[in-house]
Amino acid sequence: MGIGVGIFLAAIGAVLAFAVEDTVRNVDLYAVGWILMIAGAVSVLLDLVIFAPRRRAYVDTAAAPVVEERRVYEDRPRY
């Protein structure tokens, strides 16, 4: 699941928990809403913790230019 799915689950859960006042026989919509909100939050957290490091772009240091410093000493006498 991605971040979008987690946000979607949390949004649907919030609607069920706080906005729907209808009743369904043998189903507590308030509890279902809270379960969906928790599942959405867990989904977002897992996506950020587990899968976000894999999405980072790694910099190839071998292709970066190398700057070398050279010192030039002249054999001139100082006056």
- Whether 64 is in a domain gets the answer no
- Reported as a pLDDT band with limits 50, 70 and 90, residue 66 is confident
40 within domain boundaries? yes
Residue 30 pLDDT greater than 80, yes or no: yes
Domain assignment of residue 29, given as a range? 3-55
Of the chain, the percentage scoring pLDDT greater than 70 comes to 77
Residues 6+ apart with CB under 8 A from 20: 29, 33
27-50 burial code (b ≥16 CB/10 A, e <16):
eebeebbbebbebbeebbeebeee
Q: Is 58 helix (H, G, I), strand (E, B) or coil?
A: coil
| The pLDDT value given to residue 2 | 80
User: What's the number of domains the chain is made of?
Assistant: 1
pLDDT (tens digit per residue) in 32-45? 999 999 999 999 99
Q: How confident is the model at residue 73 (pLDDT cuts 50, 70, 90)?
A: confident
